[in-house]
Amino acid sequence: MALPFFRTYQVKSLKTTIDIFFAALLWVAVTAGAQPAPGDEDPWGTAIRHRDLETLEAMLELGADPERAVSDGKTALMIAAQADDERLVRRLLDAGAFVDATNANGGTALMYAAIDGAVATTRLLLDEGADPNAEARFGWTALMVAAVKGRDSVSRMLIDAGAEPDVRDAYGWTPLMRATSGGHLTVVDLLLVTPGVDPGCSQETGATALHIAAGEGYEEIVGRLLEGGADPRAQDHEGRTPADVAALEGHADLEQMLRMAAENSTG
């Protein structure tokens, strides 16, 4: 009698059938406690990393847990989401993978999608109920990840899905600060026009996004922050203004620009 998984899809050749059959049998052996030979990788992890849906189908029909982690602690859903593999994400969710499952650091599939700006899988995960405000270690959210990586499309999708735009991590940094630090102008622009974002808030050292941009020498971002209402007179816990920080980092033109902005500032 044929194994059930041979009825669920069409294999392209006898070699493909044999490869899938033995991969599935090896998976059964591993889950039963057998150890792969030295140098061999867990067949589940191999299939996931190669996004081999046929072999994964075989393993799932033989009872594989769709949330089984691979060697680095990521789940199959996290790997598929980061690769923007919409078909594989959908199959894993259909097989029962928990959309908000976390790894040891609290990372979710949505956060992994944000790393590489995976638009298709971000949309699918959100449609399937992924929490845009789930927090990983140190208070990072998917929006924080998207901001620091400069993923403007994913950042917009997360905000539209209800992500807190001014969330703070364990060090008091916001998505705007992370985007600023990375020099990601498009994400900075997006966040500055998002209701609820305060361009003047400060992190644990008292630095604002404007201090960060000044220290990095990002003149265009400094201009955007000033236009967005950032205060050029704000002081960090050392009493330094953004102009002082620019001077310390050797950005003379930016220092002059900020001092002029402070002189012209009212209120």
Question: Which pLDDT score is estimated for 6?
Answer: 31
Question: Which pLDDT score is estimated for 36?
Answer: 46
Contact indicator for 255, 219 with CB cutoff of 8 Å: no
Average pLDDT, the chain: 87
pLDDT band at 73 (very low <50, low <70, confident <90, very high): confident
> Which amino acid is residue 226, in one-letter code?
L
pLDDT in tens, 215-252: 999 999 999 999 999 999 999 999 999 999 999 999 99
Q: What length does the chain have?
A: 267
Q: Which of 17-26, 65-74, 129-138, 147-156 has the lowest mean pLDDT?
A: 17-26
pLDDT band at 267 (very low <50, low <70, confident <90, very high): low
> Which amino acid is residue 86, in one-letter code?
E
pLDDT in tens, 76-93: 999 999 999 999 999 999
Q: What whole-number distance in Å separates Cα of residue 34 and Cα of residue 217?
A: 56
Mean pLDDT of 137-157: 97
CB atoms within 10 A of CB 252: 10
Contact indicator for 123, 154 with CB cutoff of 8 Å: no
**Three-class SS of the chain:** CCCHHHHCCCCCCHHHHHHHHHHHHHHHHHHCCCCCCCCCCCHHHHHHHCCCHHHHHHHHHCCCCCCCECCCCCEHHHHHHHCCCHHHHHHHHHCCCCCCCCCCCCCCHHHHHHHCCCHHHHHHHHHCCCCCCCCCHHHCCHHHHHHHHCCHHHHHHHHHCCCCCCCCCCCCCCHHHHHHHHCCHHHHHHHHCCCCCCCCCECCCCCEHHHHHHHHCCHHHHHHHHHCCCCCCCCCCCCCCHHHHHHHCCCHHHHHHHHHHHHHCCC
> Which amino acid is residue 170, in one-letter code?
A
Encoded tokens for 164: 């807190």
pLDDT in tens, 26-69: 444 444 444 444 444 578 888 888 888 888 888 888 888 898 88
